[in-house]
Amino acid sequence: MEVYKTKAELALFSTNAKKKKETVGFVPTMGALHDGHMSLIRKSVSENNYTVCSIFVNPTQFNNKKDFERYPITIDEDLKKLETEKCDVVFLPSVNEMYPDPDNTQYDLGGIDKPMEGVFRPGHFNGMAMIVLKLFAAANADVAYFGEKDFQQLAIIKYITKRYNVPIKIVGCSTLRDEDGLAMSSRNLLLNADQRKNALAISQTLFGTKQKVNKDSVENVKAWAKNFISQTSNLKLEYFEIVNSETLESILDWSDAENINACVAAYAGEVRLIDNVKLK
């Protein structure tokens, strides 16, 4: 397994692979890798000649400085896991490598950045789009793999790939959960035992919502879900929405869209967690 720290090294690797008509799969991450990430690596390894994983905690997508400073860093463990899964290349750039100059680019995100996360994390998705497009340019991969846990992020990545004519296929992969139902997340490492136990109310709410589709009104189901989470000690709800899976607009009736997702964000202590499930 090779470890590259410059865009030039990564670009040369991809160029040589393409000269040999070999495919490159790409898994961008912010590290603190868990089995959800590993499932993306395994899928890429099974579908491509080479797999590249990037580890970069991107400062431009954090609107909360404390959140950025608290983000878990586990590089040594990450590299061991990636080598075990037969990842070919790890891209480990510095902030100066990715941002040699200040970048104030504002991207067209199609409006799907405005609801949910966009309300509570202004600027987050523009910063995310900024680094994703920089990484795509450096990796020059054929396929990129992302987890569906970051539902809104995945929708925006699909949008900007088309909007900015990036020649890469985007593959969304199912959310992996621990046995108790909690969605796997790097931020779970920051939870103490009580916080982790309380955080189970997030997935329990989503699964409960799925059971209520077409059995009660959307308005009543949302009220039930918000109440369920709010009654859990030390769990602070930020939002709970039931949305059109394509437009991310809130729905008023179950017949408003063919594909519908329930999405939630909540704080367990100071740790912000997000999750979603497909309702239909």
Encode pLDDT of 186-244 as tens digits. 999 999 999 999 999 999 999 999 999 999 999 999 999 999 999 998 899 999 999 99
Mean confidence (pLDDT) of the chain: 97
Predicted pLDDT of residue 231: 93
Q: DSSP secondary structure string, 4-42?
A: E-SHHHHHHHHHHHHHTT--EEEEEE-S---HHHHHHHH
Predicted pLDDT of residue 142: 98
Q: Over range 119-142, report the average pLDDT.
A: 97
Q: Over range 34-44, report the average pLDDT.
A: 97
- Give percent above pLDDT 70 in the chain: 100
- Point out which residues pair with 90 in neighbouring strands: 3, 53
Predicted pLDDT of residue 49: 98
Q: What are phi and psi of 179, to 5 degrees?
A: -60, -30
Predicted pLDDT of residue 38: 98
Contacts of 114 (CB under 8 A, 6+ apart): none
- Cα separation, 247 vs 112, in Å, equals 7
Distances (CA, A) of 61 to 38, 67, 153, 179, 188: 23, 10, 11, 30, 19
Encode pLDDT of 245-261 as tens digits. 999 999 999 999 999 99
Is pLDDT at 45 greater than 90 in this prediction?
yes
- Cα separation, 225 vs 209, in Å, equals 7
Distance from CA of residue 242 to its chain's centroid?
19
Predicted pLDDT of residue 64: 85
Q: Which tokens belong to 226?
A: 């918000």
Burial profile 224-263: b = 16 or more Cβ within 10 angstroms, e = fewer: bbeebbeebeebebbebbbbebeebeebeebeebeebbbb
Question: DSSP H helical segments within the chain, as ranges?
Answer: 7-19, 35-47, 65-70, 75-84, 95-98, 117-120, 124-139, 151-163, 193-212, 218-230
Domains of the chain: 2-173 (3.40.50.620), 186-275 (3.30.1300.10)
- Cα separation, 109 vs 27, in Å, equals 21
Encode pLDDT of 75-109 as tens digits. 999 999 999 999 999 999 999 999 999 999 999 99
Q: What are phi and psi of 239, to 5 degrees?
A: -155, 155
- Cα separation, 263 vs 280, in Å, equals 13
Q: What are phi and psi of 256, to 5 degrees?
A: -70, -20
Q: Which tokens belong to 61?
A: 């997508």
Active site residues: 37
